[in-house]
Amino acid sequence: MDEFQLIGIFLFVLFLMLGTGIWVGLALLGVAFVGMELFTSRPVGDTMITTIWSASSSWTLTALPLFIWMGEILYRTRLSEDMFKGLSPWLARLPGGLVHTNIVGCTVFAAVSGSSAATLTTVGKMSIPELRKREYPESMIIGTLTGAATLGLMIPPSLTLIVYGVTINESISKLFIAGVLPGLVLASMFMGYVAIYSKVSDKFNPIPEPKMTFAEKVANSKFLIPVICLIMVVIGSMYAGVATATEAAAFGVIGSLLLAAGQGSLGWSTFVESLMGATRTSAMIALILAGAAFLSLSMGFTGLPKALAEWIAVLELSKFQLLMVLLVFYIVIGCFLDGISSVVLTMAVVEPMIRTAGIDVIWFGIFIVVVVEMAQITPPIGFNLFVMQGMTSHDMAYISKAAIPMFLIMVVMVFVLIFVPELATYLPENMRKAPGG
């Protein structure tokens, strides 16, 4: 049986299981079980137990629930309100006005959240009413917020980068630092689009903001100080080599608890809700990772990754051609799976390909995150589209149409990364190594 028949069987079983509505993690375990039973002579039960335990007991994974908890705590604070108060005086005079608060707000919150959905919900619940009140175009409000929220997948701490790093056994700290510059560049491209649109569109006629003195702007900036300090502690400690990703996550949790307490929004119910929310999300991701680890092992025993890597080698694709194939591939599967599932499901096959082609795995982590970001705003399963629909009651077609310019900007970002790879590799190559990590 050749590799394409094997792929066909794996995909048939996978979509059959996903179609029944069972959890993604269980579907991955099911596919791996079928693959092991049909195509190998290995003892399935023993192998599955050992693999799940190994995948679940990884020390690197401890950063994941901590960063999720940090985001859950901040989601329940008045952070979004404070960010809007602090950012709006500085952004009101830019071309595009307060629409920029969507992008800058998402960029700032992404740096303390790691979750695209949490970023969208937190920033959106404050910015949408304020921007509507000032009569900004609805499509711009919806589109920029839906697209900019995907920065939560790239700017550290990024849950997708943690999952990618664990899956390929690569440094989480280096991946985090690699995402900083591309994340800022992508945010700048979003802001550039807003500025151009505001100048060329007849529909852009918001109510102007009252003028503020420089002293008043500085006074309002006090609302940004706590969150900026938290970002500097989390990211700065990793870049300076003071802390590993796990230790930086612990600093982040402590900092977010102090920030919530200082705002007066940390009660017992808030604490318990944040803890339980983090537990549910962490358990879901852990199950997906366990299923993906077993699927990777199962595929390895069937020889599928090696056969595909050899097939790619025979085609003699250039690095650019391979990346274009992977770009289309991930956009397509992103129409049906969430970002984390897309990464863990495909790495067993894709990792040998990129290593054989000589593609830097840190750089590829950023590449895949940008492509996975596109999937967040791609119908029919784009998760940000569902979140936005729940917040605004617009139909899916309207939200998808509003997000198209942001999708196209991400496509441009992919080519920027390909032709300027130093964006993703410069900082990791020059960061200090944390003691013990």
pLDDT of residue 193: 93
pLDDT at 233: 85
Residue scoring higher pLDDT (421 or 246): 421
What is the band of 80 on the pLDDT scale with cuts at 50, 70, 90?
low
For 198-226, b/e burial (b = at least 16 CB within 10 A) is: beeeeebebeeeeebeeeeeeebeebbeb
pTM reported for the whole predicted model = 0.76
Cα separation, 293 vs 369, whole angstroms: 20
Structure-model confidence comparison of residues 210 and 382, the more confident one:
210
Given a contact cutoff of 8 angstroms between Cβ atoms, the answer to whether 104 and 228 are in contact is no
Taking 70 as the threshold, does the pLDDT of residue 302 lie above it?
Answer: yes
Residue 368 has pLDDT above 60, yes or no: yes
| Amino acid symbol at 37 | E
Tell me the mean pLDDT in the region 70-93: 77
Tokens of 99: 């629409």
Question: Encoding tokens for residue 326?
Answer: 């992977």
1 pLDDT higher than 60: no
**Percent of the chain surpassing pLDDT 90:** 11
Residue ranges with strand state E in 247-302: none
Mean pLDDT of the chain: 81
Residue 382 clears pLDDT 80, i.e. is over it: no
Highest mean pLDDT among 263-277, 282-296, 343-357 belongs to: 263-277
Q: Is it the case that residue 341 has pLDDT exceeding 80?
A: no
Could you give the CA distance from residue 80 to residue 227 in angstroms, rounded to a whole number? 10
pLDDT above 90 (res 78) = no
- Helix and strand counts by DSSP (H, E) for the chain: 22, 0
pLDDT band at 338 (very low <50, low <70, confident <90, very high): low
CA gap 121, 289 in Å, rounded: 25
Q: Once rounded to an integer, what is the mean pLDDT over residues 323-340?
A: 77
The pLDDT of residue 191 is 93
Span 218-234, average pLDDT: 80
- Which has the higher per-residue pLDDT, 381 or 82? 82
CA distance linking residue 334 with residue 330, whole number of Å: 6
Banded model confidence at residue 56, pLDDT cuts 50, 70, 90: confident
The residue among 337 and 350 whose pLDDT is bigger is 350
Would you state the pLDDT for residue 32? 83
- Per-residue pLDDT tens digits for 87-118: 788 888 888 888 888 898 888 877 776 667 77
Distance CA 274, CA 335 (A): 30
Report residue 279's pLDDT band, with 50, 70 and 90 as the boundaries: confident
What residue has token string 């707000």?
A: 105
Instruction: Check residue 363 and give its pLDDT.
Output: 94
User: Stretch 59-65: mean pLDDT, rounded?
Assistant: 75
pLDDT of residue 336: 62
Q: Which of 208, 210, 209, 206 has the alpha carbon at shortest distance from 136?
A: 206
